[in-house]
Chains A and B, each alone.
Chain A
Amino acid sequence: MNLGQMRSAVLTRLGEDTVAPIYWSDDDVNEAINDGYEELSDASEWYERSANIPFLSNLRYFDLRTALGDDTFLSPRRAFNPNTNWWLKPSDPRDLDFHTYRRWEINLGTPQRIIQRGLFYIGIFPLQNGDAGLMKFWYSAMPPALITDADEPPFPQEFHQGIIEYALFDLMGQESQTSKALVHWEQYQKIENDFIQYVNKRISTDRLDSLHEISVLGRQ
Chain B
Amino acid sequence: MKFLSSVASDVLKRLGDTSEKIWSTTEVRNYLQEGYDQLAMQSLCFWSQAYLDDKLTTGNFTSDFESDWFDGGDVRYRRFAYTCLLDADWVAEGDLDYGPTNHTAGWEGLTYITEAYYVALEDLPDDLYEIERSTWNYARIEPLRSVELELNDSRYQLNNGEVLGYAQDKDGLGKFRKWRIPSAAADTYMITDPCRGILRNPSDISTETVHGSWGIPRRIPTQPAVAETWWGLPRRPFKDGHNTKVEYFSRGKTLNTDQPFDLPDRYVKYVRHYALWKALERNGPGQDIKLGQHWKGRFDDGVARMIRRRQSLTSNRQRVLGDTLLPFGPPPRPKYPWNYGQVVR
Chain A residues within 8 Å of B, Cβ to Cβ: 35, 38, 42-43, 53-54, 56-60, 62-63, 65-67, 71-76, 90, 92-95, 97-99, 102-103, 105-106, 114-121, 142, 170, 173-176, 178-179, 181-182, 185, 214, 216-219
Q: Beyond A216-B319, A217-B317, is A74–B294 a contact (Cβ under 8 Å)?
A: no
Q: State whether A90 touches B314 (Cβ < 8 A).
A: yes
For residue B306, give the distance in angstroms from its CB to the closest CB of chain A.
6
Query: Within the assembled complex, what's the spacing in Å between the Cα atoms of A178 and B264?
Result: 29
Asked whether A42 and B266 contact (CB < 8 A) given A90-B313, A116-B313, the answer is yes
Question: How many angstroms between the C-alpha atoms of A73 and B240 in the bound complex?
Answer: 30
Most buried by A among B13, B288, B306, B314: B314
With a CB–CB cut-off of 8 A, which chain A residues contact B265?
71-72, 142
Which of B61-69, B76-84, B85-93, B219-227 contacts its partner? B219-227
CB of A53 to closest CB in B, whole Å:
7
23 contacts between A and B (CB under 8 A): A56-B225, A58-B222, A58-B223, A58-B225, A59-B224, A63-B227, A65-B264, A67-B228, A71-B264, A72-B266, A74-B266, A97-B140, A103-B139, A105-B135, A116-B314, A119-B45, A120-B45, A170-B14, A174-B13, A176-B288, A185-B294, A214-B323, A218-B323
Which residues of chain A are within 8 angstroms of B327 by Cβ–Cβ distance? 99
Interface string of B214-255 (1 = CB under 8 A from A): 000000011111011000000000001000000101000000
**How far, in angstroms, from A75 to B306 measured CA to CA in the complex?**
9
Most chain-A CB neighbours within 10 Å: which of B133, B313, B317? B313
Q: Is B183's CB within 8 Å of the partner chain A?
A: no
In the complex, what distance in Å separates the CA atom of A173 from the CA atom of B294? 11
Q: Are A121 and B313 in contact (CB under 8 A)?
A: no
Question: In chain B between 282 and 300, which residues have their CB closer than 8 angstroms to a CB of chain A?
Answer: 288, 290-291, 294
Question: Which B residues between 126 and 184 are near A, CB-CB below 8 angstroms?
Answer: 132-133, 135, 137-140
B residues in contact (CB < 8 Å) with A? 1, 13-16, 43-47, 132-133, 135, 137-140, 221-225, 227-228, 240, 247, 249, 262-266, 269, 288, 290-291, 294, 305-306, 309-310, 312-314, 316-317, 319-320, 323, 325, 327-328, 330-331
Nearest residue in A to B320 (C-beta to C-beta)? A218
Q: Please determine whether B139 and A118 come into contact, CB atoms closer than 8 angstroms.
A: no
From A63, A105, A117, residue with most partner B Cβ within 10 Å: A117
Give the distance in Å from the alpha carbon of A181 to the alpha carbon of B225 in the complex.
50
Please give, as numbers and ranges, the residues of chain A lying within 8 Å of B240 by CB-CB distance: 105-106
Which of these, A94, A98, A119, A175, contacts B310 with CB under 8 Å?
A119
Q: Of A102, A103, A118, which one neighbours B47 at CB under 8 angstroms?
A: A118
Known: A178-B290, A178-B291. 8 other contacts (CB 8 A): A38-B266, A63-B227, A65-B262, A67-B228, A73-B264, A74-B266, A120-B47, A182-B290
Q: How far is the CA of A97 from the CA of B328 in the complex (A)?
A: 11
Asked if A120 and B46 make an inter-chain contact with CB atoms under 8 angstroms apart, the answer reads: yes
Contacts of A185 in B (CB 8 A): 294
**A30–chain B nearest beta-carbon distance, Å:** 14
Chain B residues touching A, majority SS: loop
Q: List residues of chain B with CB within 8 A of the CB of A174.
A: 13-16
Q: Which residue of A lies closest to B230 (CB)?
A: A56
Give, as a whole number of angstroms, the nearest-CB distance from B250 to chain A: 9
- Please indicate the chain A residues that have their CB under 8 angstroms from the CB of B310 in the complex: 116, 118-119
- The interface residues of chain B lying within 8 Å CB-to-CB of A105 are 135, 138, 240
Nearest CB of A to B242, in Å? 12
- Residues of chain A within 8 A (CB-CB) of B325 are 218-219
A137 to B45, CA, bound (A): 20
B28: shortest Cβ distance to chain A, in Å?
15
In the complex, what residue of chain A is closest to B229 when comparing beta carbons?
A66
By a CB distance below 8 angstroms, the chain A residues around B137 are 103
Q: How far is the CB of A205 from chain B (nearest CB, A)?
A: 10
Residue of A nearest to B248 (CB): A118
**Docked pose: A53 CA to B314 CA in angstroms:** 21
Closest to A96 in B: B140
Let me know if B225 and A57 touch, CB within 8 A: yes
Q: Which residues of B contact A170 (CB under 8 A)?
A: 14
What residues of A have a CB within 8 angstroms of the CB of B323 in the complex?
Answer: 214, 218-219
- C-alpha gap A62/B316 in the complex (Å): 21
Distance from A106 Cβ to chain B, minimum over Cβ atoms (Å): 5
Q: How far is the CB of A36 from chain B (nearest CB, A)?
A: 12
Closest approach, in angstroms, between the C-beta of B156 and any C-beta of chain A? 22
> Bound complex: CA of A15 vs CA of B300, how far in Å?
33
Contact B291 A181 (CB under 8 A): yes
CA distance A131 to B199 in the complex (A): 23
Please state if A63 and B133 are interface contacts (CB–CB under 8 Å): no
Assess A95 versus B291: contact at CB under 8 Å? Given A58-B223, A59-B228, A219-B323.
no
Contacting pair A182 B227 (CB below 8 A):
no
User: Nearest 8 CB-CB pairs, A to B?
Assistant: A118-B47, A75-B309, A119-B45, A103-B138, A116-B313, A97-B140, A67-B228, A102-B139
A95 touches B328 (CB 8 A): yes
Kindly state the separation between the CA atoms of A111 and B337 in the bound complex, as whole angstroms. 39
Partner of A217, one of B223, B247, B262, B319: B319
In the docked arrangement, what's the CA distance between A41 and B229, Å? 30
Asked whether A71 lies within 8 Å of B1 as measured between CB atoms, the reply is yes
